Chains A and B, each alone.
Chain A
Amino acid sequence: MERQEPDATFDDGMDSFLEKFQSQPYRGGFHESQWEEEFEKIPLFMKNSPSEIDPLENPDLACLQSIIFDEERSPEDQARTYKDEGNDYFKEKDYKKAVISYTEGLKKKCADPDLNAVLYTNRAAAQYYLGNFRSSLNDVTAARKLKPCHLKAIIRGASCHLELKNYVEAVNWCDEGLQIDATEKKLLDLRAKADKLKRTEQRDIRKAKLKEKKKQDQNEALLQAIKARNIRLVTEAPGEDEDLASEGLSELALYGLSSENPCGARLSVDDQGRLSWPVLFLYPEYAQSDLVSAFHEDSRFIDHLMVMFGETPSWDLEQKYCPDNLEVFFEDEDRAELYCVPPSSTLLQVLQHPRYFVKALTPTFLVCVGSSGFCRNYLQGKKVHQVK
């Protein structure tokens, strides 16, 4: 056996190899300025994989990918690969990508029902964390069709129902699961939670119902009080009769009592059963108005006017609107006639006048200074009655 002189040849080869370095540039090396990026592109040294693999940019990676997702492998193998891919995305909390992977796996329609059940259940989990509870529920339902005793699917389904506030369904799914494993802690906890929430929801419904009933009773009482006083109401809706039958009254309840004035003033009743009305005073001379939010029916106009005009209002340019000078009218719109109200009358007395119609549950009165020119003009040509 001829033993070569290793050192000599090696040295020769090595020398000439090394010489090459000095004379020729090494083309396979990294570029100095971007060696880190190029390093990253080598699949073995990659820290993060790119989300999309461009074969031109990353030929090595594209190669590897095509090996894994080779169409020639069996559907079961492919599905399993997609399942693993989905699970990896899931671990990284990239739920959207996980859903896509699982979907691809399901598309393979492989013949293994267990695998498909897992794909459905895992996709359901990803959908759950994306907040798509209905989609999640559809997936676990599909999973259960394939594998009725798949506990993970049942737990997921119960959780979905809980999130969707279907508490009865949640409890039912838990019970079905507990028939398979009577001591499964997650199901026990879910069931207790769902049951409690169901009972709380039932309480809330009862509370709302009672509140509604109370409100209706109050409205009914108010309407009865109005009726008992023979006060006539008018609805704003066109085509309504001015004299209301009892059905009309309840319609009014819906329309009038529930809608408040813009200022929030409403008809109310006190402990003695006396009403207080929101009353609108209009001053046509200056196109002004005042709203008395709670005009007690037994109080007199003059009492309110004394307070309202204790100081003459800013719009009163001639400073003539003093309580003693004021005249109060209401208008019978139907007949276009005015009625002069003695300020010493109570609100109730006026409201009970046969020609007084309360509109939108807010009695309205016109006020001007009796002796003024404006007033004389205003009353010109109109029929004015005196209310006793």
Chain B
Amino acid sequence: MSETSPKAEAAKLLPFLMLGERADLQAAAAQHVLALTGSGPGRTLLAGQAALLRSLVELAVAPPPAPARDAARALVNLAADPGLHKPLLEAEPGLPVRLLGCVLDPQWPWAEEAAAVLANLSREPVPCAALIEALAAAEPGESGLERLVRALCTPGYNARAPLHYLGPVLSNLSQCPATRAFLLDRNRCVVQRLLPLTQYPDSSVRRGGVVGTLRNCCFEHRHHEWLLGPEVDILPFLLLPLAGPEDFSEEEMERLPVDLQYLPPEKQREPDADIRKMLIETIMLLTATAPGRKQVRDQGAYLILRELHSWEPEPDVQVTCEKLIQVLIGDEPERGLENLLEVQVPEEVERQLQQQDHQEREQQELELDPGPQAEEAAPT
């Protein structure tokens, strides 16, 4: 009786995963691999099998009858583990490019799964850079990034895949300054097309990705005035998900932006607490400069946040909301502190602040963001 090690078992699967194998055998092998990716040890095992990983990628982009969907789902699970990114990319360096091709193909049925793999991969800087490089390898006409934004913003781009995971992909890509520069290009209409998606009802993944992208963009304080001005008009789109069916007086109503006036009694707030928090953080970023603060105040943000604060059930979101309200109703800071993103903090003060942070964190499990953040796709 021979004891076959798990490694050997896995190696046995390899022939059945090759392209050109019988479809039913391929399908069974792919299912087996998918099952393996459901567990930590299984994933680690697979990580050591470069040839197997390579075949998996081949299958994920192969046309029917190949089990592309299961192969893609296996990749989603593998990519969810940052420790596996290196072996994946070493086994198949072309992984980002090939998956990107699938994602942007309007006919590809498993584009959503492919997008989910990219969403997981792009959380980490190395794969993210690889993806950006893949996007930059320009096709004639539209750049890859342009096409990605178009795929995200055009309803029905792919009749068989909703492409919600393009949201987190874009959010991760927006960690990179070049992506932000494209999104915030004043000679184009890019960020404006993302704004209505903050209200996208059918997917919190998409909404979260878009809001994450907007938040990362708002670290660019040189663009704040333009973002808050009429050419983009970002603030109403950030406030709308935070607004409920409030019955403001006629006078209060007239102070609000047009999109927030006379909301019907059925108006719901953003159900996902994390997204609500990101929205508040984004508005907070826009208040970093004095002109930005003025614009946010003038556009009636306080009214919406006041109502949100009394409704908000999550304590950490409520605290974030409070902090923003403080900024809006507080006095203007002293000279030298006008742009809070550029202030030089003395060492002693820095230490004290860090201590305070630590205490707060213990109390409320707050997550503080030092900079633009990445988004993760959930493993299936």
Contact present for B188 and A200 (CB under 8 Å): no
Contact A200 B258, CB 8 Å, known A183-B187, A191-B189, A209-B264: yes
Give the residues in chain A near B362, CB-CB below 8 Å: none
Contact A182 B263, CB 8 Å, known A192-B230, A200-B258: no
Contact present for A203 and B262 (CB under 8 Å): yes
Contact A206 B264, CB 8 Å, known A192-B231, A196-B233, A200-B258: yes
A188 at the interface (CB under 8 A from B): yes
Give the residues in chain B near A182, CB-CB below 8 Å: 146, 188-189
Give the residues in chain A near B236, CB-CB below 8 Å: 199
Contacting residues of chain B (128-166) with chain A, CB-CB under 8 angstroms:
142, 146, 150
Q: Mark A169-208, 1 if CB is under 8 A from B, else 0.
A: 0000011001100110101100110011001101100110
A130 at the interface (CB under 8 A from B): no
Contact residue among A174, A203, A209, A210 (Cβ-Cβ distance under 8 Å from B258): A203
Residue on B nearest A195 in the bound complex, by CB: B192
Contact present for A203 and B261 (CB under 8 Å): yes
CA distance A200 to B258 in the complex (A): 6
Contact present for B259 and A203 (CB under 8 Å): yes
Contact present for A206 and B262 (CB under 8 Å): yes
CA distance A192 to B191 in the complex (A): 12
Give the residues in chain A near B261, CB-CB below 8 Å: 203, 206-207
How far is the CB of B105 from the nearest CB of chain A, in Å? 18
Identify whether the interface residues of A are mostly helix, strand, loop, or mixed: helix
CA distance A195 to B191 in the complex (A): 14
Contact residue among A191, A192, A196, A207 (Cβ-Cβ distance under 8 Å from B262): A207
CA distance A209 to B259 in the complex (A): 15
Residue on A nearest B190 in the bound complex, by CB: A182
CA distance A197 to B188 in the complex (A): 20
Contact residue among A183, A196, A210 (Cβ-Cβ distance under 8 Å from B230): A196
Q: Mark B173-196, 1 if CB is under 8 A from A, else 0.
A: 000000000000001110011000
> In the complex, how many residues of chain B place their beta carbon closer than 8 angstroms to a beta carbon of chain A?
18
CA distance A318 to B258 in the complex (A): 65
Size band of the A side of the interface? 20 to 34
Identify whether the interface residues of B are mostly helix, strand, loop, or mixed: loop
CA distance A202 to B187 in the complex (A): 27
Contact A199 B231, CB 8 Å, known A178-B189, A183-B187: no
How far is the CB of A193 from the nearest CB of chain B, in Å? 10
Give the residues in chain A near B259, CB-CB below 8 Å: 199, 202-203
Residue on A nearest B193 in the bound complex, by CB: A175
Contact residue among A185, A195, A206 (Cβ-Cβ distance under 8 Å from B263): A206
CA distance A294 to B233 in the complex (A): 49
Contact residue among B192, B258, B263 (Cβ-Cβ distance under 8 Å from A199): B258
Q: Mark B287-328, 1 if CB is under 8 A from A, else 0.
A: 000000000000000000000000000000000000000000
CA distance A200 to B233 in the complex (A): 13
Contact present for B188 and A210 (CB under 8 Å): no
Residue on A nearest B231 in the bound complex, by CB: A192
Give the residues in chain A near B189, CB-CB below 8 Å: 174-175, 178, 182, 187-188, 191
How far is the CB of A380 from the nearest CB of chain B, in Å? 58
Interface centre among A174, A178, A182 (most CB of B within 10 A): A182
Residue on A nearest B188 in the bound complex, by CB: A182
Give the residues in chain B near A185, CB-CB below 8 Å: 187
Q: Mark A207-248, 1 if CB is under 8 A from B, else 0.
A: 101100000000000000000000000000000000000000
CA distance A206 to B189 in the complex (A): 28
Give the residues in chain B near A175, CB-CB below 8 Å: 189, 193
CA distance A185 to B188 in the complex (A): 8
CA distance A195 to B196 in the complex (A): 11
How far is the CB of A162 from the nearest CB of chain B, in Å? 16
Contacting residues of chain B (317-365) with chain A, CB-CB under 8 angstroms:
none
Contact residue among B146, B188, B192, B264 (Cβ-Cβ distance under 8 Å from A192): B192
How far is the CB of B286 from the nearest CB of chain A, in Å? 19
Contact present for B187 and A210 (CB under 8 Å): no
Contact A210 B262, CB 8 Å, known A178-B189, A191-B189, A192-B192: yes
How far is the CB of B156 from the nearest CB of chain A, in Å? 13
Contacting residues of chain B (238-268) with chain A, CB-CB under 8 angstroms:
258-259, 261-264
CA distance A182 to B261 in the complex (A): 32
How far is the CB of B104 from the nearest CB of chain A, in Å? 15
CA distance A351 to B142 in the complex (A): 77
CA distance A179 to B149 in the complex (A): 12
How far is the CB of A160 from the nearest CB of chain B, in Å? 20
Residue on A nearest B186 in the bound complex, by CB: A188
Contact residue among A183, A196, A203 (Cβ-Cβ distance under 8 Å from B188): A183
Give the residues in chain A near B150, CB-CB below 8 Å: 179
The 4 closest A-B pairs by CB, nearest first: A206-B262, A207-B262, A183-B187, A203-B258
Can you give 6 contacting A-B residue pairs, CB < 8 Å? A178-B189, A185-B187, A187-B189, A203-B262, A206-B263, A206-B264
8 other A-B residue contacts (CB within 8 Å) besides A187-B189, A203-B262, A206-B262: A178-B188, A182-B188, A188-B187, A195-B192, A200-B258, A203-B261, A207-B261, A209-B262
